[in-house]
Amino acid sequence: MKLESNKIEDYLVSDSIVDWKAQEVRQKALDLTRSLTDDIQRVRTLYEWVRDTITHSSDAGVDIVTCTASEVLCHGTGICFAKSHLLAALLRAVDIPAGLCYQVLRLDPPLNNELILHGFNGVYLASLKKWIRLDARGNTGSINARFSIEEEHLAFAMDLSAGEFIYETIYAAPLKCVIDKLSKYDERKELWQNLPKPF
């Protein structure tokens, strides 16, 4: 893993997408972690809450497209990118550095060998002085992403033939191509025909 920025404070920013200073986002983060004493407990709790409580729009058959952390929290749903925005915001709200990660996947079912992006998170555990990657997409079928400080358990296996090695970076802010797509469409069925692709 490599960092887009060497400044840890860049992974604590509240911006228009990872908008953790929105009252409802900050309050939810505080409510979920109030009784927890260390960063590992807080990260695990927030991660599992987003993974299990916020539905993946496709799994739930929901057609709304959400993007900002506050939108995802309000509607209780989002695709992988949107859920990663919310998790980053909740973590940052309790002073845990968090960034955005991207993985290259092949469309399923395959269409002209087309590649798309999948979004998840990089999180810094100060108590261990290490970054870990977590995937809050939501578990269904064969997907079994889970929390671990020892080894990654992401939603999808890495596929080096798809150019996975390009996406080792933990970004401080969401990629523009992701935000452009999520902002362009109101309905998921339209977005599904034009998902963010590797640049």
Q: What is the pLDDT of residues 20-76, one digit of tens each?
A: 999 999 999 999 999 999 999 999 999 999 999 999 999 999 999 999 999 999 999
- Taking a C-beta distance cutoff of 8 angstroms, is the pair 139, 159 a contact? no
| 55 within a domain of the structure (yes/no) | yes
| Tokens, residue 58 | 């496709």
Question: How many angstroms separate the CA atoms of 98 and 187, rounded?
Answer: 28
pLDDT at 61: 94
| 198 within a domain of the structure (yes/no) | no
| 197 within a domain of the structure (yes/no) | no
| Tokens, residue 137 | 């997409």
| 19 within a domain of the structure (yes/no) | yes
| 73 within a domain of the structure (yes/no) | yes
Q: Quote the crossing angle between the two packed helices 23-33 and 39-53, to the nearest 10°.
A: 120
What's the Cα-to-Cα distance from 70 to each of 14, 22, 66, 145, 171, rounded to whole Å?
11, 7, 9, 23, 20
The structural domain count of the chain equals: 1
- What is the average per-residue pLDDT within 132-151? 95
What percentage of the chain reaches a pLDDT higher than 90?
Answer: 82
Domain that holds residue 90: 2-191
What CATH number corresponds to the domain at position 43? 3.10.620.30
Question: How many angstroms separate the CA atoms of 40 and 51, rounded?
Answer: 16
pTM, two decimal places? 0.95
Least confidently predicted of 43-47, 94-98, 107-111, 179-183: 107-111
- Taking a C-beta distance cutoff of 8 angstroms, is the pair 93, 49 a contact? no
The answer, yes or no, to whether residue 159 has pLDDT greater than 80, is: no
Burial (CB count within 10 angstroms: exposed 0-12, middle 13-18, buried 19+), residue 62: middle
Question: How many angstroms separate the CA atoms of 105 and 113, rounded?
Answer: 10
- Taking a C-beta distance cutoff of 8 angstroms, is the pair 40, 79 a contact? no
The answer, yes or no, to whether residue 107 has pLDDT greater than 80, is: no
Our CA angle for 162, 151, 59, nearest 5°, is 60
Mean pLDDT of the chain: 93
Question: How many angstroms separate the CA atoms of 66 and 187, rounded?
Answer: 9
| 199 within a domain of the structure (yes/no) | no
Strands 115-125 and 130-134: antiparallel
Least confidently predicted of 7-21, 42-56, 87-101, 184-198: 184-198
Confidence of residue 167 (pLDDT cuts 50, 70, 90): confident
Strands 115-125 and 98-106: antiparallel
3-state secondary structure of 124: strand
| 30 within a domain of the structure (yes/no) | yes
| 80 within a domain of the structure (yes/no) | yes
